[in-house]
Amino acid sequence: MKLDILALGAHPDDVEMSCSGTMLAAAAAGKKIGIVDFTRGELGTRGTPATRPPRPPRPAWCWA
């Protein structure tokens, strides 16, 4: 899939928390965007991947 913008984040939700407005604006302008999380947050302080609730599916604009 060819993307116009690819946002990279070290941890889950980094991109969403830091530049979601920019990503929404780009998607609204017709750009194809994607997000890559490099880790699953396995060393985070809010539990482990096994104990945290499952992440909801990405919103549709993430795959636009």
For the chain (length 64 residues), average pLDDT per consecutive 10? Answer: 91 86 93 87 66 64 52
Task: Name the CA radius of gyration of the chain, rounded.
Answer: 13
Q: Is residue 30 part of a domain?
A: yes
**Taking Cα atoms as reference points, which of 51, 59, 57 lies closest to residue 24?**
59
* Cβ-contact 53, 25 below 8 angstroms: no
Q: Whole-model pTM?
A: 0.63
DSSP 63: G
pLDDT at 7: 93
**How many structural domains does the chain have?**
1
* Bridge partners, residue 34, by sequence: 6
Tokens of 13: 């939700």
Round to whole Å and give the CA distance between 47 and 53.
Answer: 10
**Residue 21 belongs to some domain of the structure:** yes
Is residue 29, in this structure, part of any structural domain at all? yes
Residue range(s) defining the domain that contains residue 22: 1-42
